[in-house]
Amino acid sequence: MQKKAIVLLSGGLDSITVLALAKQQGFQCYALSFDYGQRHNAELIAAAQIAKAYQVEAHKIIKLGLDSIGGSALTDSQIAVPNSLQAGIPVTYVPARNTIFLSFALGWAEVIHSQDIFIGVNAVDYSGYPDCRPQFIEAFQQLANLATKAGVEGQTITIHTPLMTLTKADIIKTGVALGVEYQQTVSCYSANAQGEACGVCDACRLRKTGFLDAGIKDPTLYAS
């Protein structure tokens, strides 16, 4: 019987690669996205298109009000998205975001009797976010198996992080080998309504460098 997996799908470069990898590994994929009060919905439009293209079993978009607490340049219009690298944890960090996202994924996994959750966190070409580190994933996986009916009954839940130790260039090469079409994705923190990227934020910088280092033409649509 084919195993089921929840795949966190933001609509960005990393998440489409993770979805392609989960499909390659033979999982029935259930895609989960979040309308959490982010600056734009271009990435959610991209996520819906990607989910359809990959013929996932189901795609849910959960509405969360993280903008009601703010604290991040991605959820608070009073905090500007920086155009240069920052020391320490940047203002684009969204408080507790991956903890919240994985918690919803865990709940859905229990409902559909899935023991596998995929997330595209990365500890190499990441932006200094504490909830993208291996230690966080290990701790959440331990929590998942302590706090769920499935876990305590011996149905071990695994959090898959296939991109954790890859550079952005390696992620792109992996995706291209799987036939991923990255022009479908939106990574920019400040994308416009058409999904065109600003080209200067941290997410755009990492993405541009990744394609350059991979020696692959950047298919990103830029606003200028």
Q: Are 210 and 126 in contact (CB under 8 A)?
A: no
| Residue with token string 């996520």 | 47
Task: Enumerate domains of the chain plus CATH numbers.
Answer: 4-186 (3.40.50.620)
DSSP lists the bridge partners of residue 158 as 116
Q: Are 68 and 87 in contact (CB under 8 A)?
A: no
What confidence tens digit (pLDDT) does each residue in 96-151 have? 999 999 999 999 999 999 999 999 999 886 668 899 999 999 999 999 999 999 99
DSSP lists the bridge partners of residue 31 as 7, 59
Collapsing DSSP to helix, strand or coil, 103 comes out as helix
What confidence tens digit (pLDDT) does each residue in 29-81 have? 999 999 999 988 999 999 999 999 999 999 999 999 999 999 999 999 899 98
Of the candidates 101, 102, 106, the one whose C-alpha atom is nearest the C-alpha of residue 149 is 106
Length of the chain in terms of residues written: 224
CA angle 2, 4, 8 (to 5 degrees): 145
